[in-house]
């Protein structure tokens, strides 16, 4: 839910250290997530403590792996589309032919960040109906903004001298883009993708209120039925998923100065 992580950097706990150690955090979180999905029934005595009076304390309406898979699918599809469209749009408006659109697109991208994700999700339903599709569309639309903004910031922030040198070497526009501009902008673009995915994992969970079945289901069902154990299971898994994905991004992202 961090609106600014795109520009400011996060201090990642695995920024330095040997290669093996840098993979440790994402691997540990992923293992924990898998283990939690698989071994939740064995934690029954623990959940019995918070919910001593309920008949069932382990959410059993759907397999946790299935819910996790659906959650990742929705976020993944939305993220892939958002990355494709967002980066392409940002590239298009920074080329000479599309430069006219730059002021409007950049203002839209920064203004759109003000929109609460829940409101976007809620407004997608009247237009698109219930189910998984409106959630994907809402996630896609909302996820576009940080990606467009950061790609623009990355491409526009490149030192003019570098672009000049590339031109002087006889590179064509396409070569400059692929070999100079995009690699230089990559860390900032990646930060935008990270923000986008982090927000989307959270928003997708809320999406289970509009008929998209995912890890938000146990939470919503727990709240509706007054079963805190369900809520805890859903919250635990979503939290672990978010941390796994975030630490994966932290691993991919080169450490940049605070």
Partner 1 sequence: MREGAGSNSVLVSLMLVLLVSWLGLDAVSVAANRIVPGEGIGLGGVAGWPGILLSVAPMLGVLWLAWRPSPGRLRVALLLVMAMLAALPVWLVVAAALTVDPALPQSRLSIGPAVWLALFMLLLSRIELRGRIRVPRWQGALLDLLPLLSLGLCLLTALEPLALRQEYLAREPAFIAAIGEHLLLVSVAVLVSLSLGVGLAMAMRRWPSAQRFGFTLLNFLQTIPSLALFGLLLAPLAWLSNRFEWIDALGVSGIGWAPALLALVAYSLLPMVRNTYVALEEVDPGVIDAARGMGMSRAQIFRQVRLPLGLPVLLEGIRITTVQAIGLTAVAALIGAGGLGRFIFQGLGQAAMDLVLLGALPILIMALLADALLGALTERLRPGGLR
Binding region for partner 1 (CB under 8 A): 1-5, 8, 10-11, 13, 50, 96, 99-101, 103-104, 107-108, 111, 114-119, 122-123, 125-127, 130, 198, 201-202, 205-206, 209-210, 216, 219-220, 222-223, 228, 231-232, 234-236, 238-239, 242-243, 246
Please give the Cα distance from 241 to 180 (Å, whole number): 34
Q: Are 68 and 237 in contact (CB under 8 A)?
A: yes
Q: Which two tokens stand for residue 7?
A: 């520009």
Please give the Cα distance from 233 to 216 (Å, whole number): 10
CB of 135 to partner 1, least distance (A): 12
Our CB check for partner 1 shows the closer of 96 and 170 to be 96
CB of 190 to partner 1, least distance (A): 16
Our CB check for partner 1 shows the closer of 49 and 170 to be 49
CB of 100 to partner 1, least distance (A): 5
CB of 169 to partner 1, least distance (A): 26
Our CB check for partner 1 shows the closer of 166 and 199 to be 199
Give Cα separations from 251 to 133, 196, 237 (angstroms): 31, 17, 21
**Alpha-carbon dihedral of residues 58, 60, 61, 64, nearest 10 degrees?**
90
Instruction: Give the E-state strand segments of the chain in sequence order.
Output: none
CB of 20 to partner 1, least distance (A): 21
Our CB check for partner 1 shows the closer of 23 and 101 to be 101
Our CB check for partner 1 shows the closer of 126 and 170 to be 126
Produce one character per residue of 105-123: b if its CB has 16 or more CB atoms within 10 Å, e if not: bbeebeebbeeebeebbee
């Amino acid at each position: 839910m961090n609106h600014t992580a795109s520009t400011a950097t996060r201090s990642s706990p695995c920024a330095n250290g040997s290669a093996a150690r840098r993979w440790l955090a994402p691997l540990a979180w992923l293992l924990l997530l898998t283990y939690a999905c698989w071994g939740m029934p064995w934690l029954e005595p623990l959940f019995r403590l918070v919910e001593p009076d309920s008949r069932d304390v382990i959410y059993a309406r759907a397999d946790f792996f299935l819910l996790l898979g659906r959650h990742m699918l929705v976020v993944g599809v939305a993220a892939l589309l958002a990355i494709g469209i967002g980066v392409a749009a940002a590239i298009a408006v920074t080329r000479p032919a599309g430069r006219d659109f730059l002021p409007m697109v950049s203002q839209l991208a920064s203004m759109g960040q003000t929109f609460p994700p829940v409101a976007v999700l809620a407004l997608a339903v009247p237009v698109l109906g219930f189910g998984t599709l409106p959630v994907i569309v809402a996630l896609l639309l909302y996820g576009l903004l940080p990606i467009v903004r950061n790609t623009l910031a990355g491409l526009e922030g490149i030192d003019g001298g570098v672009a000049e040198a590339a031109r002087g070497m006889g590179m064509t526009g396409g070569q400059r883009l692929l070999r100079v501009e995009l690699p230089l902008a990559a860390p900032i673009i990646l930060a935008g993708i990270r923000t986008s995915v982090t927000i989307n994992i959270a928003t997708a969970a809320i999406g289970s209120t509009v008929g998209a079945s995912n890890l938000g289901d146990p939470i919503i069902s727990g709240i509706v039925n007054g079963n805190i154990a369900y809520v805890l299971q859903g919250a635990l898994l979503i939290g672990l998923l978010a941390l796994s994905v975030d630490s994966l991004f932290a691993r991919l992202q080169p450490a940049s100065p605070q």
